[in-house]
Structure 1
Amino acid sequence: MPVISTSAVRRTALGAAGAAAAGIGYATLIERNAFVLREATMPVLAPGSPTLRILHISDLHMMPGQQLKQQWLRELDRLEPDLVVNTGDNLSHQKAVPAVVQSLGALLARPGLFVFGSNDYFAPVPKNPLKYFKKDHRRVYGDPLPWKDLRAAFTERGWLDLTHTRRDLEVAGIRIASAGVDDPHLQRDRYDTVAGAPNQLAQLSIGVTHSPEPRVLDRFAEDGYDLVLAGHTHGGQLVVPGYGALVTNCGIDKSRVKGASQWGAHTQLHVSAGIGTSPWAPYRFCCRPEATLLTLVGAPPKRPSADTGHGISTSQAVAR
Structure 2
Amino acid sequence: MVALIKKQNPDIIALAGDIADDIEPIEGAELFLDGIRTIAPVYYVTGNHEIWSRRTEEIKQVFRNHGVIVLENTYEQVIINDQKFIIGGVDDPDIVPYEKPDMDWPGEMMNSFSDLKHQSAFTILLSHRPELIDLYRELPFDVVLSGHSHGGQVIIPFLLNGLLAPNQGWFPKYAGGLYQHPEIIHIVSRGVSYNPRLPRIFNPPEIVAIDINSSGNNH
TM-score strictly above 0.5? yes
The residue number in structure 1 matching 2:82 is 173
Q: Give the secondary structure class of the aligned counterpart of 1:119.
A: helix
Q: CA deviation at 1:251?
A: 4.5
CA distance in structure 1 between the aligned counterparts of 2:124 and 2:64, rounded to whole angstroms: 19
Once the two structures are superposed, residues 11-49 of structure 1 have per-residue CA deviations (whole angstroms, 9 ceiling, x without a partner) of xxxxxxxxxxxxxxxxxxxxxxxxxxxxxxxxxxxxxxx
Inter-CA distance 77–101: structure 2 relative to 1 (3 Å threshold): farther
CA distance in structure 1 between the aligned counterparts of 2:80 and 2:67, rounded to whole angstroms: 13
Which one of the candidate residues 107, 110, 123 is aligned to 1:192? Answer: 110
CA distance in structure 1 between the aligned counterparts of 2:55 and 2:36, rounded to whole angstroms: 21
The residue number in structure 2 matching 1:131 is none
Inter-CA distance 289–228: structure 2 relative to 1 (3 Å threshold): same
Which one of the candidate residues 268, 287, 291 is aligned to 2:207? Answer: 291
CA distance in structure 2 between the aligned counterparts of 1:227 and 1:117, rounded to whole angstroms: 18
Structure exhibiting the larger radius of gyration computed from Cα positions: 1
Which one of the candidate residues 31, 48, 58 is aligned to 1:102? Answer: 31
Q: Which moved more, 1:204-213 or 1:74-83?
A: 74-83
The residue number in structure 1 matching 2:14 is 85
How many residue pairs end up in the alignment?
Answer: 204
Q: Is the contact between residue 167 and residue 178 of structure 1 (CA under 8 Å) also seen in structure 2?
A: yes
Amino acid across the alignment from 1:269: H
Which one of the candidate residues 269, 286, 309 is aligned to 2:186? Answer: 269
Q: How does 1:55-66 map to 2 (within 5 A)?
A: none
Q: Give the secondary structure class of the aligned counterpart of 2:124.
A: strand
Q: CA deviation at 1:119?
A: 1.0
Amino acid across the alignment from 1:243: L
Q: CA deviation at 1:74?
A: 4.7
CA distance in structure 1 between the aligned counterparts of 2:198 and 2:168, rounded to whole angstroms: 23
Asked if 1:228 corresponds to 2:144, the answer is yes
Q: Which moved more, 1:193-202 or 1:155-164?
A: 193-202
The residue number in structure 2 matching 1:4 is none
Q: Is the contact between residue 114 and residue 160 of structure 1 (CA under 8 Å) also seen in structure 2?
A: yes
Q: RMSD across aligned C-alpha pairs, in angstroms?
A: 2.7
Q: Give the secondary structure class of the aligned counterpart of 2:199.
A: coil
Q: Which moved more, 1:185-194 or 1:164-173?
A: 185-194
CA distance in structure 2 between the aligned counterparts of 1:267 and 1:254, rounded to whole angstroms: 19
Q: Is the contact between residue 74 and residue 105 of structure 1 (CA under 8 Å) also seen in structure 2?
A: no
Inter-CA distance 153–74: structure 2 relative to 1 (3 Å threshold): farther
Q: Is the contact between residue 37 and residue 68 of structure 2 (CA under 8 Å) also seen in structure 1?
A: yes
Q: CA deviation at 1:292?
A: 0.8
Unaligned runs of 5+ in 1: 1-71, 123-143, 301-320
Q: CA deviation at 1:226?
A: 0.5
Amino acid across the alignment from 1:250: N
Q: CA deviation at 1:225?
A: 0.8
- Percent same amino acid at aligned positions? 21
CA distance in structure 2 between the aligned counterparts of 1:74 and 1:101, rounded to whole angstroms: 16
Q: Is the contact between residue 162 and residue 181 of structure 1 (CA under 8 Å) also seen in structure 2?
A: yes
CA distance in structure 1 between the aligned counterparts of 2:113 and 2:89, rounded to whole angstroms: 10
Q: CA deviation at 1:154?
A: 2.4
Q: Is the contact between residue 176 and residue 205 of structure 1 (CA under 8 Å) also seen in structure 2?
A: yes
Asked if 1:203 corresponds to 2:121, the answer is yes
Q: Give the secondary structure class of the aligned counterpart of 1:287.
A: coil
Inter-CA distance 160–103: structure 2 relative to 1 (3 Å threshold): closer
CA distance in structure 1 between the aligned counterparts of 2:122 and 2:216, rounded to whole angstroms: 12
